[in-house]
Amino acid sequence: MDLENTAKALKELGHPTRLNIYRSVVRAGYQGIAVGGLQEKLEIPGSTLSHHISGLLSAGLITQRRESRTLFCVAEYDKLQSVIDFLQEECCADEKT
């Protein structure tokens, strides 16, 4: 992944509330967690929560799946992995040469 996209993902993770949301989504595994579930669990006003979720979505860190009226948030583990890969790939590159 490129620098701009990685920075975007890191930025979205770099806010306590959003990191907490993301963490809850990650914990929920492949089935995900409902927006309402997050709201209840984290006690965040709906509008604020929705705003933060859209940040995580725009970075590709999570996706959503609808089941009738309920929207589930699901972690995109691959995205997290590519962020981590970006952070680690150039480690000590100048010394290696």
Partner DNA sequence: ATTATATTTCGATATTACTAGAAATAACTT
Partner DNA sequence: AAGTTATTTCTAGTAATATCGAAATATAAT
Residues that bind DNA (CB under 7 A): 11, 15, 17-18, 34-37, 39, 44-55, 64, 66, 68-72
d(C-alpha 11, C-alpha 4), whole Å: 10
At its nearest, how many Å lie between DNA and the CB of residue 25?
Answer: 12
Sole binder of its own copies in the list 1, 34, 57, 80 (CB under 8 A) = 80
Q: How far apart (Å, rounded) are the C-alpha atoms in residues 60 and 13?
A: 11
Task: Judge contact between 25 and 41, C-beta under 8 A.
Answer: no
Out of DNA, its own copies, none, which partner does residue 84 contact, by CB within 5 to 8 A per kind?
its own copies
